[in-house]
């Protein structure tokens, strides 16, 4: 059974509307919220219920909702409805009466209700109780997908097989409570459409706008609809690692694809490097959902290769989830207040103000969650001005809540923050972490008790087959905690000393580099940060990550998060400069290249290392191995004007005349299982860039175009040689009808919020 009593009267009507469409095969004319209309919905026409039963005429649908669990419907509960039904019969508006309720309906009660309705002139009566509705939900996948709150209101083991259930349990470990409050929005419907058409969707929006919730609905619906392998991963590398070419039905969910709270350039470069494989996954039938905060995506767009992956440019795929209608806002607010932790007394007192909250320009789903949690409303006076400030200044209020916590609670939040948002349970502390929380006035026991007290409000305890963790209830909690660090220099030093180096790099900047929502480390702590990074790069036991990956991670930190003063301090170790001067192939994905450009921009790259870097880039170009230096303005900025002129002259005189040899070299490296189009895409992009650079010389431009045509012909030949793909039934969610907005009436959606 599903907890339908938690839906509320309005959501239950919407569920009944969907059941009429999907199960009974009828399109309902309207649902009216008026308190005295006598009909919640109606349709006119014919309805064939059974082989020998065909009904026609005017049908009235009445939804009878109860907020009481295991309540049984009695004929007496419908006394008013009986009178209204009689009036409708006299007006020839009710030949058949359909009663839908989430309450239980006994055989005796059903017989009495039918007799009463027929006594007032109704010709036929159909009654569908809570058990019948739950049966339809359990048996019909599409119905569940169109009403995804159901995934949070029942036992998933009843509708998913064992493997899919284990995956869903892991996916929903931290989201089950939120799913029970989810609302179908236009953003969700557009996301479904994008997945059906393209197999890919990128959800963008401001913090706490509901991106992760929509992604989780899609992931669980995919498990339910197709029984596919559904994975929640962290970055592009993990997607490729888990891609199984023999299993086309894979669904990948990558949350915060370009950084959690700040833009992470190295994550974008990883995506650029695997775009060919991503396109292959989509061609094979896989589906990918990515999320990103809006301000992070604005940074990422500057570095994403949108030309190599046109879907990123298509507006129907990039969805701003903050575009909520008033009806959607009201339903989100209703669900969080009704299913939150507030007392009935609070719900009754806040009820007159809820319409105002839903209409507020600063309203986001997180507003509703906090209003439904007593931790955030302890000091809230329930008058219009105070509530306006609660919504308008929600970031400041969160800061005030955290500032007012006791030492143990602050230390507990510090532990989660130092672990970059994921604290394993049971908690095992590193010596530096133990020292850090002791300096904050706490200890392991105090932190453990505090975490239990904060559970559900500021933190959440998530348990899965892989173990249990403590995490922030929402990333905005971590951001608010970071603001405390900035106000307390002693805390900042404790944080730098106690945090793991790989986590530290995703949260700080050394000096002011204008990075949003990052913790800026002052110059006095630069030596401590440098020491932490040096140890991270040299200590074999410092991390499970390979040494080369650790160096790349530090390179990216230096390239995007460090000021000139810190860079000058860091490169006192000449080993760094030697690496920078000798980058490897695949320059577009090489961290040494980005660091060389940054060091040169800051004027701290010594001349001998600058020259060595330039010579390496030129050698790659003329050998035909890597043309990135021809098109990347950052790399070219490291060249002097004389070197750039020499570079262009050699390209003009030596490289362009032998482009056919370069193409042959690339074709020779082709292996049958690869996509010819994806493999040659970087070369074609380089040729097109080259043609543009020499567009003023028609003879050279024609020569380059001939080589482009030659490569495209080779791609077409290889594509034709490949076996045609096996015919597979398309995996689509199906058409998603928009919920009908309530017609103007006298009944508010918040009418029963304090029941």
Question: Where are the chain's structural domains?
Answer: 4-139, 154-320, 326-392, 393-499, 650-721
d(CA 276, CA 278): 5
- Give the DSSP H or E segment for 12: helix 9-22
pLDDT digits (tens, 9 = 90+) for 703-712: 889 989 998 9
Mean pLDDT of 719-739: 61
Which residue has 């989810």 as its token pair?
182
Sign of the torsion angle spanned by Cα atoms 158, 160, 163, 164? negative
Mean pLDDT of 384-396: 85
Sign of the torsion angle spanned by Cα atoms 346, 351, 352, 356? positive
Q: Is the pLDDT of residue 192 over 50?
A: yes
Phi, psi of 256 (to 5 degrees): 50, 60
Contact present, 114 and 148 (Cβ < 8 Å): no
Pairing of strands 53-64, 41-50: antiparallel
Q: Is the peptide bond preceding residue 163 cis, with omega within 30 degrees of 0?
A: no
Q: How confident is the model at residue 174 (pLDDT cuts 50, 70, 90)?
A: low
Mean pLDDT of 389-415: 85
pLDDT digits (tens, 9 = 90+) for 24-80: 766 555 444 444 455 565 666 666 655 555 667 788 888 888 988 888 999 888 888
Q: Report the share of the chain in percent with pLDDT over 90.
A: 19
Pairing of strands 459-464, 200-205: unpaired
Which residue has 């019909």 as its token pair?
140
d(CA 26, CA 677): 48
Alpha helices in 488-590 (DSSP H): 489-498, 501-504, 526-538, 547-561, 564-570, 574-580
Phi, psi of 13 (to 5 degrees): -60, -40
Angle at 398 between CA 392 and CA 399, to 5 degrees: 110
Mean pLDDT of 623-628: 83
d(CA 437, CA 424): 16
Q: How confident is the model at residue 631 (pLDDT cuts 50, 70, 90)?
A: confident
CATH architecture of 393-499: Orthogonal Bundle (1.10)
Which residue has 């301000």 as its token pair?
295
Q: What is the 3-state secondary structure (H, E, C) of 372-424?
A: CCHHHHCCCCCCHHHHHHHHHCHHHHHHHHHHCCCHHHHHHHHHHHHCCCCEE
d(CA 211, CA 373): 21
Q: Nearest CA to 457 among 444, 470, 445, 439?
A: 470
Mean pLDDT of 442-451: 92
In the prediction, which pLDDT does 583 show? 92
Mean pLDDT of 447-464: 87
In the prediction, which pLDDT does 540 show? 60
In the prediction, which pLDDT does 400 show? 81
d(CA 686, CA 693): 11
Q: Is the pLDDT of residue 542 over 80?
A: no
Contact present, 277 and 240 (Cβ < 8 Å): yes
- The 10 Å Cβ neighbour count of residue 236 is 23
Mean pLDDT of the chain: 82
Pairing of strands 519-521, 124-128: unpaired
Contact present, 279 and 286 (Cβ < 8 Å): no
Tell me whether residue 205 is exposed, middle or buried, using C-beta atoms within 10 angstroms of its C-beta: 0 to 12, 13 to 18, 19 or more: buried
In the prediction, which pLDDT does 541 show? 56
d(CA 104, CA 120): 24
The residues that bridge with 251 in the sheet, in sequence order, are: 230, 287
| DSSP tag of 199 | S
In the prediction, which pLDDT does 527 show? 93
Q: Is the peptide bond preceding residue 426 cis, with omega within 30 degrees of 0?
A: yes
pLDDT digits (tens, 9 = 90+) for 79-117: 888 888 898 889 888 888 989 998 999 889 999 999 999
As given in the structure block, the two tokens for residue 519 are: 């913790």
Contact present, 252 and 196 (Cβ < 8 Å): no
The model's pTM? 0.67
In the prediction, which pLDDT does 35 show? 45
In the prediction, which pLDDT does 630 show? 84
Q: Is the pLDDT of residue 737 over 70?
A: no
Q: Which of the listed ranges 66-80, 178-192, 238-252, 565-579 does the model predict with the highest average pLDDT?
A: 565-579
Q: Is the pLDDT of residue 406 over 80?
A: yes
Mean pLDDT of 740-754: 68
- For residues 703-731, one letter each, b for 16 or more C-beta atoms within 10 angstroms of the residue's C-beta and e for the rest, the string is bbeebbebbeebbeebeeeeeeeeeeeeb
| DSSP string for residues in 692-729 | HHTTT-HHHHHHHHHHHHHHHHHHHHHHHHSPPPPP--
Q: Report the share of the chain in percent with pLDDT over 70.
A: 85
Q: What is the CATH number of domain 4-139?
A: 3.40.1350.10
Pairing of strands 318-320, 423-425: unpaired
| DSSP string for residues in 94-137 | -SEEEEEESSB--HHHHHHHHHHHHHTT-SEEEEE-HHHHHHHH
- The 10 Å Cβ neighbour count of residue 48 is 11
Tell me whether residue 355 is exposed, middle or buried, using C-beta atoms within 10 angstroms of its C-beta: 0 to 12, 13 to 18, 19 or more: middle
Q: Nearest CA to 652 among 685, 635, 630?
A: 630
- Give the DSSP H or E segment for 43: strand 41-50
Q: Which one is the CATH code of 154-320: 3.10.310.40, 3.10.20.80, 3.40.50.300, 3.40.50.10320? A: 3.40.50.300
- For residues 465-482, one letter each, b for 16 or more C-beta atoms within 10 angstroms of the residue's C-beta and e for the rest, the string is eeeebbbbbbbbbbbbbb
In the prediction, which pLDDT does 308 show? 63
d(CA 252, CA 262): 22
Q: Nearest CA to 336 among 725, 11, 86, 2?
A: 11
pLDDT digits (tens, 9 = 90+) for 482-535: 777 777 777 888 788 777 788 788 889 999 888 877 888 999 999 999 998 998
> Helix 394-403 vs helix 475-487: angle between axes, to the nearest 10 degrees?
70
Pairing of strands 96-101, 53-64: parallel
Q: How confident is the model at residue 612 (pLDDT cuts 50, 70, 90)?
A: very high
In the prediction, which pLDDT does 605 show? 95
């Amino acid at each position: 059974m599903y907890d339908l009593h938690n839906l509320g009267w309005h959501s239950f009507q919407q569920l009944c509307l969907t059941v009429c469409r999907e199960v009974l095969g009828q399109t309902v004319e309207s649902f009216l919220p008026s308190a005295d209309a006598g009909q919640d919905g109606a349709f006119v026409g014919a309805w064939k219920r059974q082989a020998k039963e065909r009904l026609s005429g005017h049908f009235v649908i009445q939804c009878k909702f109860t907020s009481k669990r295991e309540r049984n419907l009695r004929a007496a509960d419908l006394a008013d409805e009986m009178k209204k039904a009689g009036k409708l019969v006299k007006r020839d508006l009710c030949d058949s009466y359909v009663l839908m309720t989430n309450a239980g309906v006994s055989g005796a009660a059903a017989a009495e209700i039918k007799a009463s309705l027929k006594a007032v002139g109704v010709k036929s009566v159909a009654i569908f109780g809570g058990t019948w509705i739950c049966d339809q939900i359990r048996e019909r996948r599409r119905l569940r997908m169109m009403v995804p709150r159901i995934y949070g209101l029942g036992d998933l083991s009843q509708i998913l097989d064992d493997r899919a259930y284990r995956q869903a349990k892991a996916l929903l470990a931290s989201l089950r409570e939120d799913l029970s409050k989810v609302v179908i929005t236009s953003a969700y419907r557009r996301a479904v459409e994008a997945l059906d058409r393209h197999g890919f969707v990128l959800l963008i929006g401001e913090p706490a706008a509901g991106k992760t919730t929509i992604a989780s609905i899609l992931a669980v619906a995919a498990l339910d609809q197709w029984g596919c392998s559904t994975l929640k991963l962290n970055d592009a590398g993990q997607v490729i690692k888990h891609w199984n070419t023999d299993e086309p039905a894979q669904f990948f969910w990558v949350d915060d694809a370009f950084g959690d709270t700040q833009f992470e350039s190295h994550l974008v470069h990883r995506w650029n490097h695997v775009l060919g494989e991503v396109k292959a996954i989509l061609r094979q039938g896989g589906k990918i959902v990515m999320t990103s905060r809006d301000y992070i995506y604005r940074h990422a767009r500057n570095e994403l290769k949108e030309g190599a992956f046109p879907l990123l440019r298509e507006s129907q795929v990039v969805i701003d989830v903050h575009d909520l209608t008033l009806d959607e806002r009201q339903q989100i607010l209703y669900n969080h207040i009704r299913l939150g932790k507030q007392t009935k007394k609070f719900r009754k007192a806040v009820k007159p103000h809820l319409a105002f909250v839903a209409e507020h320009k600063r309203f986001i789903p997180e507003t509703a969650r906090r209003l439904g949690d007593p931790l955030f409303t302890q000091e809230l006076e329930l008058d219009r001005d105070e509530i306006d400030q609660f919504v308008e200044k929600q970031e400041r209020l969160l800061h005030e809540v955290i500032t007012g916590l006791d030492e143990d609670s602050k230390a507990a939040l510090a532990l989660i923050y130092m672990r970059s948002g994921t604290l394993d349970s049971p908690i095992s502390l590193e010596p530096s972490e133990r020292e850090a929380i002791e300096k904050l006035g706490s200890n392991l026991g105090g932190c453990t008790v505090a975490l239990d007290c904060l559970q559900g409000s500021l933190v959440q305890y998530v348990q899965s087959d892989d173990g249990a963790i403590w995490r922030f209830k929402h990333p905005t909690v971590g951001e608010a905690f970071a603001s405390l660090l900035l106000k307390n220099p002693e805390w900042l030093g404790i944080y730098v000393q106690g945090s793991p180096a790989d986590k530290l790099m995703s949260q700080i900047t050394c000096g002011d580099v204008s990075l949003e929502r990052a913790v800026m480390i002052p110059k006095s702590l630069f030596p401590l940060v440098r020491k932490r990074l040096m140890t991270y790069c040299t200590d074999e036991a410092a991390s499970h990550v390979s040494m080369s990956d650790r160096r790349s991670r530090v390179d990216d930190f230096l390239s995007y998060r460090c000021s000139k003063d810190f860079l000058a301090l860091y490169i006192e170790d000449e080993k760094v400069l030697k690496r920078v001067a000798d980058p490897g192939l695949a320059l577009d994905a090489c961290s040494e290249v980005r660091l060389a450009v940054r060091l040169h921009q800051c004027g701290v790259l010594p001349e001998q290392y600058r020259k060595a870097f330039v010579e390496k880039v030129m050698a790659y170009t003329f050998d035909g191995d890597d043309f990135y230096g021809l098109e990347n303005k950052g790399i070219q900025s490291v060249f002097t004007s004389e070197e750039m002129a020499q570079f262009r002259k050699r390209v003009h005189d030596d490289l362009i005349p032998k482009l056919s040899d370069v193409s042959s070299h690339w074709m020779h490296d082709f292996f049958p299982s690869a996509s010819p189009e994806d493999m040659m895409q970087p070369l074609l992009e380089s040729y097109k860039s080259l043609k543009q650079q020499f567009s003023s010389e028609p003879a050279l431009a024609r020569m380059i175009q001939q080589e482009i045509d030659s490569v495209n012909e080779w791609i077409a030949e290889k594509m034709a040689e490949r076996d045609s793909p096996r015919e597979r039934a398309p995996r689509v969610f199906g058409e998603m009808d928009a919920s009908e907005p309530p017609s103007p009436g006298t009944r508010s959606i918040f009418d029963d919020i304090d029941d």
